[in-house]
Amino acid sequence: MSASDGARLPVTGAQLVAAARRAREHARAEYSKFKVGAALETADGSVVTGCNIENATYGLTICAERVAMFKALSEGHRAFTRIAIVADTAAPTPPCGACRQILWEFGGNLEVTLANLTEHIGTHRLEDLLPLPFDSRLL
Q: Residue 37 pairs with which residues in a beta bridge?
A: 51, 86
- Of the candidates 134, 76, 78, 133, the residue with the CA atom closest to the CA atom of residue 106: 78
- Give 4 or 32: the residue with its C-beta nearer to ligand THU: 32
To ligand THU, the closest distance from the beta carbon of 38 in angstroms equals: 7
Residue 99 CB, nearest distance to ligand THU (Å)? 6
Binding mask of the shown chain, residues 67 to 86, with x at each position contacting ligand THU by CB under 6 A: ------------------x-
Judged by CB under 6 A, the stretch of 15-23, 31-39, 40-48, 74-82 that binds ligand THU is: 31-39
Q: DSSP strand E in 59-100: where?
A: 80-87
Beta bridge partners of 38: 50, 85
Between strands 80-87 and 111-115, the pairing is: parallel
Q: How many residues lie near ligand THU (CB under 6 A)?
A: 15
